[in-house]
Amino acid sequence: MRISAAQRTENENRIRAAMDRLLRGEIPPGGKCDIKTLAREAGVDRTAFYGTRPYAHLRIEFERRLQALQQAGDIPDPREAQITRLKTKNAKLRERLTKSEQTITELADFRTQALARLAAQHEEIVRLREAAAGASRISRLPPPRTTVIGTCN
C-alpha cells in the first residue's frame, strides 16, 4: 500500500521524535534503545527501516547517533548502562580476586619456609644442648635469684 508524501513526512516526524526520546534515555517499559522499540514508539512497521525501504536512512541516522553517544560514554538505555557498569565492576573484582589468591599463595609459602626455619633452629638448639650436657669442662652458672631485695619502684 502506497502512502502519500504528507503521510510519509508525518511518519518521519514521528520517527525523529521517538528517536530523540530514546536517545535522551526515555525508554518505555519493556523496551530498549533499538530499532524495534523505535518502530513501536513511532507507530511504524519495523521492516520499513531495512533494505531499500522508505525509512532505512532514519535507521542509519539512529544507529550513528546511538554509536556516537556510546563512544562519548553516554549510554541512553539504563539497562545497557547497568550492564556496562556491572561488567566493569566484575572485571575489577576478578582482578582483586587474582591478586588476593596470589597474596595467599605467597603468604602460605612464607609460612612454610618460616616453619621449616623454626624447626631447623629448634633441632640446632637441641643438638647444642645435648653437646653441652656431654662436655665435662663446661661449668653451669647458678640460676638467677628469685627473691627481691628492697622495693622495686
pLDDT of residue 133 exceeding 90, the answer is no
Per-residue pLDDT averaged across 86-99, rounded?
95
**pLDDT value of residue 88:** 93
Over the stretch 21-66, which tens digit does the pLDDT of each residue have?
A: 888 888 888 888 888 999 999 988 888 888 788 888 898 999 899 8
How far is Cα 26 from Cα 75, in angstroms, rounded to an integer?
12
Instruction: Kindly tell me the burial class for residue 18, based on how many C-beta atoms sit within 10 Å of its own C-beta (0-12, 13-18, 19 or more).
Output: buried
Give 3 or 20, the one with higher predicted confidence: 20
Which residues are CB-neighbours of 61 under 8 A, at least 6 positions away? Answer: 19
Backbone φ/ψ region at 122: left (φ over 0), alpha (ψ -120 to 50), beta: alpha
Read off the pLDDT band of 99 (50, 70, 90).
very high
For residue 56, how many other CB atoms are within 10 A of its CB?
Answer: 13
Q: Structure pTM? A: 0.50
Mean pLDDT of 115-134: 89
Question: What grid cell was written down for 61?
Answer: 541516522
pLDDT of residue 138: 63
Q: What is d(CA 97, CA 61) in angstroms, rounded to the nearest whole number? A: 43
